[in-house]
Amino acid sequence: MTNVTQNRPLSPHLSIYKQIPTMVMSIMHRITGMALYSGTLLVAWWLVAAASGEAYFDWVNAILGSLPGRLVLLGYTWALVHHLLGGIRHFVWDTGHGFDPQTSTRMAWATIIGSIILTVLIWIAGYAVRF
Amino acid sequence: MNNMRTPLSKVRGLGSAKEGTDHFWRQRVTAVANVPLFLFFILFIVAYSGESYAVVAGALSNPLVAVLMGLMVISGVIHMRLGMQVIIEDYIHAEGMKVSLLILNTFFSIVIGAVSLFAVLKLGFGG
């Protein structure tokens, strides 16, 4: 039985199809989801640091505030916003609307463009608050 | 074609996996909850980024902030566990590996949830 199933021809997979916006956003929704999954370690770490007292909190803040730390947080922000906008797209589809190619493609572009704009705005707001 | 399903099975509407739309529904309910909860989280981080320990710990001891943080953690870990479960089921086909990863997924989500909630509660009750 194993031999029979292993020798069956396979249908074409991801790599053979043209990369269209809806497909790319679908893949990115899953990738950002996985990134956020790992990112909860950062959230938990930060909460634990705040609960552990000043010395440890300052140490964690220094790491997160360093250049590599900020780059990770920037990536986390973008992943969160992208996944959130992608989720809203799914809410629209859940109502049975937005499946036609024009609308779904437009929503895909809105997801990527919106996620970049919102991420930049959030970080501008973050820096504006500090200075 | 005769429908072989019993009347009871039709009424229950749980299908062959006996779960019905439970997974899908929980994913969506937590997704809806996550929208305001994570917007709050982002705004909180933006507002308190770079602030001193005393200011941040003080903000996290506010009852409303503590409750919202706690709800965010609970809704977040349930949502991420469901999402990762689908990814594992989609890509991991070896039965032993799949079952192990599904269990690890549950453990990871619960540990993250427990640790985060403990921290939130400790801060909420005054550090």
Burial, B123: exposed, middle or buried (Cβ in 10 Å; 0-12, 13-18, 19+)?
Answer: buried
Q: What is the pLDDT of residue B51?
A: 87
* Domain boundaries, position A103: 21-130
Does the pLDDT of residue B26 top 80, yes or no?
A: yes
Residues of B with CB under 8 A from a CB of A: 28, 31-32, 34-35, 38-39, 42, 45-47, 49-50, 53-54, 56-57, 60, 69, 73, 76-77, 80, 83-84, 87, 112, 115-116, 118-120, 122-123, 127
Q: How many domains does chain A have?
A: 1
Of A30, A81, A125, the CB nearest to B46: A125
Question: Span B22-124: which CATH code?
Answer: 1.20.1300.10
Q: Do A129 and B46 touch (CB under 8 A)?
A: yes
Residue A120 domain flag: yes
Q: What is the pLDDT of residue A130?
A: 72
Q: What is the pLDDT of residue B1?
A: 55
Alpha-helical runs (H) found in A1-100: 2-6, 21-52, 54-65, 67-94
Read off the DSSP letter of residue A11. Answer: P
Task: State pLDDT tens for residues A45-70.
Answer: 999 999 999 999 999 999 998 999 99
Q: Which residues of chain A have pLDDT under 50?
A: none
Tell me the C-alpha distance between B4 and B17, whole Å. 16
Residue A104 domain flag: yes
Distance from CA of A117 to the nearest CA of B (A): 15
Mean pLDDT of the region B20-31: 95
Residue A124 domain flag: yes
Whether residue B87 contacts residue A34, with contact meaning beta carbons closer than 8 Å, is answered with yes
Which of B24, B39, B53 should we substitute to test contact with A (largest number of A Cβ atoms within 10 Å)?
Answer: B53
Q: What is the pTM of this model?
A: 0.89
Q: What is the pLDDT of residue B114?
A: 98
